[in-house]
Structure 1
Amino acid sequence: MKATIFHVSALVLLIAGATGVSSAQDRSHDSSHLRQPMPERWTFSQEVTQTLPADDPWWKSFEDSTLDSLISMGIDNNFDVAQALHRREIARLAIRQTQSGYFPTLDVSAGYSRSRNGREKDANTFSAGATLNWELDVFGRITSQVKAKRAAYNASRADYVATMVSITSDIASYYINYLVLRNEIAVAREHIESQKRVVKIAEARHEAGLVSKLDVAQAKTVLFSTEATLPALQSRASQTLNALATLLGVYASDIAPMIKDDAKLPAYLRILPVGIPANLLRRRPDIAEAEAQLAQNAAEIGMAKKDFLPVLSLRGSVGWEGDKFNSDHFAYSIAPTLSWTIFDGGSRKYALAQAKEQMMASIDAYNLTVMTAYTEVENAMTSYYAAVETYNLYDEVFKQSRESFDLAIDQYKEGLAAFTNVVNAQIDWLNCANSLVESRGDALIALIDLYKALGGSPDEAI
């Protein structure tokens, strides 16, 4: 049984972090916008090594094929993921739309008219022409717009990864919660069978005149109390399965057959190699999104500054009009144009001031995001370590409670102990069994929360 107790010195694995975020963007993260420097190490450092995570999907560490299938289903069907993917595509198309400003616009026209003036013959007039407008990006106005759209696209990519990390961790948490409830139902049924045997022992001793009927009544009270917990547990399990199905974008009936009735909680409990705090700048998609927002704001400041510069454009036209196609009716024009707004009542000045204020607000938001990320990892590490220690302690408590029950029932059979000892031992054993299941579930969910805090990522990282 000692093999089931996990020590903090054991460590394994990974987070497929939003390392994909940084590598895909091909840029290094700096801390130039941090008002407070990142701590060099975590406050909580209970035998946690400082290495970068592996590139595998984090949930595979649980070695649970059902969980793998559920998360794969969620990635394909979850509506939040689908919306994030659409937002990413919208941002990508916005770049293409803005880049079209580098090219000229060409309009063509054609017409025909028939007219008569007094007694003259009918006159037929044909016309055709083309007009070209082209803004020459000499002063970088269009380029600054493209930069802003690219930054917005990078933010949407990070948002997509953040959504994936959140959804996959939620799926894993609901799955673990469902297994906890199923295991508690199994524990209750196991103890009901044990308590039925105790009732028979009490009835036999009562019929033999060795004890009063009080022992039988107490035994049945414990039995019926345990049976009364089943409906609520089954209802909670059903509700949890429904919530899990909603995350997956399906109905509960679609996934119920995938989860075996006797499914056990994953055996995986480890401390993660979380790395140094500064690595969060490369891992967390919300930090990547905040950085992209800063880049977008910087580009918008550039856009506001470009509005103070002139716009150079080229306008050209070619056309023909008449009843015959010949050079006498052909005309063309080329007209370079330089337009420059001299006075606008301060509109551009205030637009620039707004852009700068927005940049300052985004810097504050970036700092808050970084500090929140650091705090979340600190709290997640502390919670997980405490949850593992709690599970280890409950494992010992459970073994002692089982031994206490065995001793109590043996002594009762021999007439060496009162039945109240058996009742108390039964209740303690059941409570400890439930606490053991719940504490294991708590430890697994705390581990999931730690993966989430570190910025875990699915296969299709951005």
Structure 2
Amino acid sequence: MNLLSSLSPATAGRAPSRPLAGVIPLALLALAAALSGCAGMAPRDAALPDTPVPTAWAAGTTAAPGSAATSLAQWWQRLGDPQLTALVEQSLTANTSVRTAQAALRQARAQVDVQAAGLAPQVGASASAQRSRSGNSGAGNNFQLGFDASWEPDVFGRVRAGVNASEADARAAEASLADVQVSLAAEVAVNYIELRGLQQRLVIARSNLASQSETLQITQWRLQAGLTTSLVAEQARAASEQTAAQIPALEASLAQSRHSLAVLTGQAPAALDAQLAASVAVPQPGDELAMAIPAETLRQRPDVRAAEQRITAALARVSQADAARYPDFGISGSVGLRALTLGALSGGSAVAASLLGSISVPLLDGGAARAQVRAQEASLEQARIAYQAAVLTALKDVEDALVSLRGNRERLVRLRSAADAAGNAELLARQRYSSGLIDFQSVLETQRTLLSTQEGVATTVASLSADHVRLYKALGGGWQPQ
């Protein structure tokens, strides 16, 4: 229902017509009913959902009271590997996921400007020229030139709530970009560590293959001298072939790791083959890590920040749906020139101006407005639950990384001790077998044990380094919003 009043030079000062005077009381009653219905809406709680957050980590070291936690900004530099640092930094600029998140952020920020434009008056210009003819009458011209302006005062905050929602969406997109960058840096580091670990395992396999080949040669000499049996020679050859079979599998895994790193850095799969061909030790960070308390960790996790901003956006959309049940006000006007000839446009009689005020009151909509409020309230509840899930997942990520880190540290100590003993045993066994003091079965068992323990050490060293990376990621990566 609209109430319209116009003002022009021809109608200024004239009293309202009788029909319009009869409509005004009815419209005012409808407006009062709408306002009373909207005034009963209860305000929404803007507080974050209650989520249990411990005061300290169940496992691991927390920064001492009064001391600052270790800065995790650009944590990949703590691994002390320049090549890894270069790969991470390249991925942060060239990776397709990062570029997609950056485009989403630009889109969200542009949407804020779109929503904010609704708070300002809208001004436009128009011009037209018309030539028409009817029946036997002569042709006539009509020329118009003017400016139009309109403005909808945001009396009940509907447009402002939309702006607030868009701003929260933009902040959530910014946090999502940071989350993509943190996850990408961790993925590059884990793939790089896996690559270096595979290279170490390949070195171990080739070293053991050389040792087993030497043992196989000794066995064949003893067989020719009649000092051993064909069974022993075949066992030696089987052990050597089993070790040799591991090498193609390791080489294939190495190639796949290089391909993954190349794609993560925005390059073709084979682009890093030459750069990463040389075998390098697995990078290892230092153990000096003072961790922040759980509450501080949650504040620096970008995924938690994004979930928080989505609650803010959902809350603003509830307010927007509420405000849509209130009346809308509008003011518009125009000023221009209208004449039958171009020359007459410059005369004072060609000036035409109008001013229009309007009120639009929703009366019967079949319950759509209330249903829209309920829909936005349900969306708000989903955002709150998603926030709780993000917090719990963040806490679990840190605890899992700490447990894995502690377990692999203890395992590595034992495996290194076992590898030293296995190396000594294998050397003694080969020497005694060459002298004919022991049978080949003892040599075979010591060589298998040596290969197993050395592979275990190499695998655990890589796992330990990857655990640090996962811990850095779980702690938020030290990323700061741009």
TM range (shorter): 0.7 to 0.9
Within the candidate set 334, 346, 354, 1:317 is matched to 334
| 1:189 paired residue number | 206
- In the aligned structure 2, how far is the partner of 1:118 from the partner of 1:62? 90
Within the candidate set 256, 270, 276, 1:259 is matched to 276
What amino acid maps onto 2:386 in structure 1? A
Within the candidate set 86, 92, 109, 1:75 is matched to 92
TM-superposed deviation, 1:437: 0.6
Matches within 5 A, 1:130-149: 130-149=147-166
What amino acid maps onto 1:417 in structure 2? I
**Partners of 2:146 and 2:334 within 8 A in 1:** yes
What amino acid maps onto 1:309 in structure 2? Y
1:235-280 deviation per Cα after TM superposition (whole angstroms, max 9, x unaligned): 2222232233222221232111221422211132536322211113
Within the candidate set 475, 478, 482, 1:454 is matched to 475
Superposition TM-score, scaled by structure 2 size: 0.83
- Secondary structure of the structure 2 residue equivalent to 1:136: coil
Matches within 5 A, 1:33-72: 33-45=48-60, 47-49=61-63, 51-72=68-89
| 1:176 paired residue number | 193
Matches within 5 A, 1:12-411: 32-45=47-60, 47-49=61-63, 51-115=68-132, 123-268=140-285, 270=287, 272-322=289-339, 323=341, 324=344, 325-411=346-432
TM-superposed deviation, 1:209: 4.8
TM-superposed deviation, 1:197: 2.2
| 1:425 paired residue number | 446
Change (3 A) 1:64 1:193: same
Superposition TM-score, scaled by structure 1 size: 0.87
- In the aligned structure 1, how far is the partner of 2:246 from the partner of 2:137? 105
- In the aligned structure 2, how far is the partner of 1:176 from the partner of 1:363? 37
Change (3 A) 1:243 1:415: same
**Partners of 1:269 and 1:444 within 8 A in 2:** no
TM-superposed deviation, 1:293: 0.7
Change (3 A) 1:84 1:177: same
**Partners of 1:66 and 1:259 within 8 A in 2:** no
- In the aligned structure 1, how far is the partner of 2:134 from the partner of 2:264? 76
- In the aligned structure 2, how far is the partner of 1:102 from the partner of 1:461? 28
- In the aligned structure 1, how far is the partner of 2:211 from the partner of 2:280? 22
1:155-181 deviation per Cα after TM superposition (whole angstroms, max 9, x unaligned): 111111111111111111111112222
- Secondary structure of the structure 2 residue equivalent to 1:258: coil
- In the aligned structure 2, how far is the partner of 1:419 from the partner of 1:115? 112
TM-superposed deviation, 1:86: 0.8
What amino acid maps onto 1:422 in structure 2? V
- Secondary structure of the structure 1 residue equivalent to 2:73: coil
- Secondary structure of the structure 2 residue equivalent to 1:255: coil
- In the aligned structure 2, how far is the partner of 1:53 from the partner of 1:210? 65
TM-superposed deviation, 1:96: 0.8
TM-superposed deviation, 1:90: 0.5
**Partners of 2:331 and 2:356 within 8 A in 1:** yes
**Partners of 1:48 and 1:271 within 8 A in 2:** no
**Partners of 1:125 and 1:321 within 8 A in 2:** yes
What amino acid maps onto 1:99 in structure 2? A
TM-superposed deviation, 1:234: 1.4
Change (3 A) 1:435 1:269: farther
Q: Which runs of 5+ in 2 are unaligned?
A: 1-45
Q: Which runs of 5+ in 1 are unaligned?
A: 1-30
**Partners of 1:112 and 1:124 within 8 A in 2:** yes
Query: How many aligned positions are there?
Result: 430
TM-superposed deviation, 1:317: 0.7
- In the aligned structure 2, how far is the partner of 1:124 from the partner of 1:349? 51
- In the aligned structure 2, how far is the partner of 1:121 from the partner of 1:203? 120
What amino acid maps onto 1:403 in structure 2? N
1:131-162 deviation per Cα after TM superposition (whole angstroms, max 9, x unaligned): 11111223322211110000001111111111
- In the aligned structure 1, how far is the partner of 2:134 from the partner of 2:309? 67
What amino acid maps onto 1:279 in structure 2? E
| 1:27 paired residue number | none
Larger radius of gyration: 2
- In the aligned structure 1, how far is the partner of 2:136 from the partner of 2:371? 65
| 1:20 paired residue number | none
| 2:434 paired residue number | 413
What amino acid maps onto 2:358 in structure 1? T
Residues 434-443 or 331-340, more deviating: 331-340
